[in-house]
Chains A and B, each alone.
Chain A
Amino acid sequence: MFAVLGNAMLAMSLLFGVFGIIIVSLSMVGANDYRFLKSGRMAFLSSSALVVFSTIILVYELMISNFSIIYVAKYTSIETPLLYKFTGLWAGMEGSLLFWLAIQSFFFILVILQNRKKHPRLMPWVMITMAVIQMFFLILINFFENPFDPVQKGMVVNGQGLNPLLQHWAMVLHPPALYLGFIGFSVPFAFAMAAIITKNLDAVWIQTTRRWTLITWVLLTIAIIMGGKWAYVELGWGGYWAWDPVENASLLPWLTATAYLHSVLIQEKKNMLRLWNMILIMLTFTLTIFGTYLTRSGIVSSVHAFAATDLGIWFFGFIILIIVVNAVLLIIRRKELESKNKLESFVSRESGFLFNNMLFISMMLAVIWGTMYPIFSEAVTGFKITVGSPYFNRIMIPLGLITLALTGIGPLLAWRKTSIRSLKRNFILPIVSALLLTAIIAVIMDLKMVYPLVSIGLMVFVSMTILSEFYRGMKARMRMTGEGMFKSLFTMIDKNRSRYGGYIVHVGIIMMFAGFTGKAFDKEADLSMMPGDIQTLSNYEITYVEQWFESPDSNPDTRSNHVAKIVKLDVKKNGKKFHIMEPEKRFYTDQNNQPHSEVAVKTTLNEDFYIVLGDVDLKTGLATMKVRINPMVTWVWLGTFVLLIGTMVSINIEEFFRRKTK
């Protein structure tokens, strides 16, 4: 009943959208009538609201387990916990497309309401751009992947349930964060399109969308890391990043967006790089669509390449359309996009940002090459060429380290030109302390690996430059105003939030690099043990205590939808009691007994002790397991948290709400 309504709403939304595009276009040619624009706005609000309502209906159907809808039957079952019935919304192709569309529509409503009385020249084009994006997904959903399609024959008594791998908190949060982080870029993109079409090419469109861009960026960052966290605890291969095509798809727009965040600062300050910023936001948006496509098309990572979905060709067409329209606009407006201010020196803040951009673009190209080449190679050479982590690591580690170095150097460079004297004054202390500390660490730890040493040195160097920036700013303020230490520190940050917020983000990045560097010191062992056996890995001693079995009958509360084989391990570290660990092998009864390894992890600040149960013979007790020591992993998660704080300082969340309540 409601499903029919949801379906009708999606169809109506399409009509409203088309009507809106026509009437807003008319408002700009000939007619130029404000009433046209006004009804266009209403049409877009309606089309977007309809999408949101139909999504709510799908959620409702998932919650009440209406198995007469194919989608509901496919991704949930009666036993699925309520929370995961809800997340079923993005577990499958149809639902995830609708969810994508719902977020985009929600943003569309926000943008329209936020700018009701602002930017009269930009807004018609902003709306048209966002409407075209919305239309594209509405067409896909209405004609190809309708989540409301009913079950054709017979009656479904119970659904298939949600893949157990997806039943995890990080998978509850990761997809929404990723979608928000992808789709949010459609807003700055729409403003960029409006700016280039209407020739309003100063920094207005950038400033207007600054907050959107930052929030979107931080959500994308968190989403990527959360995906890593999920892989780390659920997939059981002991890492959080494997350069898998789907991961790469989310990294690509992050790289260009990060470049964009930095280079727009130059346009705001010096009105330079107008063409380049335009290209970066267009690229970022295109890559979000490309990423959405890549994760759905099945063209990567499948042996039967080029899986036969109708969607692929549509996405491909849409991406080509975006690229062509963007390229034409850039060519037509190339004169207007020229900047009057010119670069003056290699050693300047401007050049620093440009080098930063070159690095991010290089990383993006390296990732896209490694991800896409396997697909093209088959057409060219007849067989498929693949590359794995080694390729990506060999390129990305050095590029990442150079970028880290720039994080320290850039902020200390002056605009236009930096004098030798200021270079000396700013860099001597950080460089000397970095060299000294690295040397000490190298000797103490007997460390000879190049990259980790470079990384440690750079982390110290960048931390010192950031510290000295805070210290010097605070001192200057204390002298000037006579305020106390903390007061001047906080007012200083408050007076220049984007700068100091940015530094805090950099601190988060340094912490994440500490985590990445820890990877170089990973240790692992494959163990085969009988109960009572003792084995060691590095300074850990593992005693296999016992093994047992649990099922829905024995533990109805905790094991309602699976049976589990469990082994108990008593772990000692440096001869002292450390932790009792119980990795499990589960079989999900509502999923054709699909097996799943539940890893056991004991986290400490400097390293994780990580055990995956390969298998255990309940009769003999013979158990195989993979044991890993993963140093510094926690710092990746902690760094993300600091990065989030830095972004919030930068955005000035407080002021945002103060203004809202006025």
Chain B
Amino acid sequence: MSFQKKFALVVVVFGVLVAAWISVEFKSEEVPFISVNDLLEKHDQFSQARFRLGGNVDDGSIFYSDDKLTVSFLLKQDESVLPVNFTSAEIPDLFKDGAEVIVEGAYDEGVFHADNLMTKCASRYDEEGEYQTPEMEG
């Protein structure tokens, strides 16, 4: 086998390995973005432990703990409502009644424990746009 062919073989093997590795890591870290309704009804059908949900903060549902470090609220999407807990000193600036939010975390016995709460941001370009992420590292 010529050296050129050998090198090409190395490149191909490397490429396959990297592709396999990327897909394995992707699989292990993926978080389904599902509707509140799907979570409530089908959460046991998913193999993943973590979910991402979107919806609005139900009016009048926001409560803070005494030290103000934990906030609980009802996440409303269409007709489904889900209680959510989030513990952090950094509640996003735009978090309030009716705000559009995305939460990420785990579901346990009817309550969603979020470790990431994002609010829709007064965006850079236009009304639809980016989310302000107070805490990406969870």
Contact = CB atoms under 8 A, between A and B. Distances in A.
Interface of A: 91-93, 96, 163, 165-166, 235-239, 242-244, 246, 295-296, 298, 301-304, 307, 309, 342-346, 351, 354, 358, 362, 365-366, 369-370, 373-374, 383-391, 394-395, 526-528, 591, 594-597, 612, 614-615, 622, 624-626
Interface residues of B, number: 53
B52 interface: yes
B68 A343 contact: no
A309 B123 CA distance: 15
29 contacts: A93-B125, A93-B126, A96-B125, A163-B122, A235-B133, A235-B134, A236-B90, A236-B134, A237-B137, A246-B130, A303-B102, A303-B120, A358-B15, A365-B22, A366-B22, A383-B32, A383-B35, A386-B33, A386-B52, A388-B29, A388-B136, A388-B138, A526-B87, A595-B94, A612-B89, A612-B90, A614-B91, A615-B68, A615-B91
B128 A307 contact: yes
A374 B32 CA distance: 9
A301 B130 contact: yes
A243 B104 CA distance: 16
B3 A302 contact: no
Contacts of A625: 89
B29 A394 contact: yes
B3 A387 contact: no
Contacts of B111: none
Contact of A386 (B31, B120, B126): B31
B135 interface: yes
Given A244-B133, A365-B18, A386-B52, 7 more contacts: A303-B54, A383-B38, A526-B89, A596-B93, A614-B89, A626-B88, A626-B90
Nearest to A622: B68
A207 to B, nearest CB: 26
B36 to A, nearest CB: 12
B25 interface: yes
A321 B71 CA distance: 50
B69 interface: yes
Nearest to A344: B3
Contacts of A351: 7
Interface in B91-138: 91, 93-94, 100, 102, 104, 116, 120, 122, 124-126, 128-138
Contact of A528 (B26, B31, B67, B124): B67
A302 B91 contact: no
B134 to A, nearest CB: 5
Interface in B2-50: 3-4, 7, 10-11, 14-15, 18-19, 21-22, 25-26, 29-35, 38
If over half of B's interface residues share one DSSP class (helix, strand or loop), that class is named, otherwise mixed; here it is mixed
Contacts of A612: 89-90
A239 B22 contact: no
B88 A298 contact: no
Contact of B122 (A373, A374, A591): A591
Given A614-B68, A622-B68, A624-B68, A391 B29 contact: yes
In this complex, the member of A96, A166, A358 whose beta carbon has the largest number of chain B beta carbons within 10 angstroms is A358
Contacts of A91: 124
Contact of B134 (A237, A304, A622): A237
Given A301-B131, A615-B68, A358 B30 contact: no
A527 B137 contact: no
Contact of B25 (A385, A395, A591): A395
A298 B134 contact: no
In this complex, the member of B10, B18, B89, B134 whose beta carbon has the largest number of chain A beta carbons within 10 angstroms is B89
Contact of B126 (A92, A354, A387): A92
B34 A383 contact: yes
A301 to B, nearest CB: 5
B25 A394 contact: yes
Given A388-B136, A394-B29, A395-B22, A92 B125 contact: yes
A654 B118 CA distance: 48
Contacts of B69: 526, 528, 624
B130 A389 contact: no
A249 to B, nearest CB: 12
Nearest to A369: B22
Interface in B77-95: 87-91, 93-94
Nearest to B46: A383
A528 B64 CA distance: 12
B68 A528 contact: yes
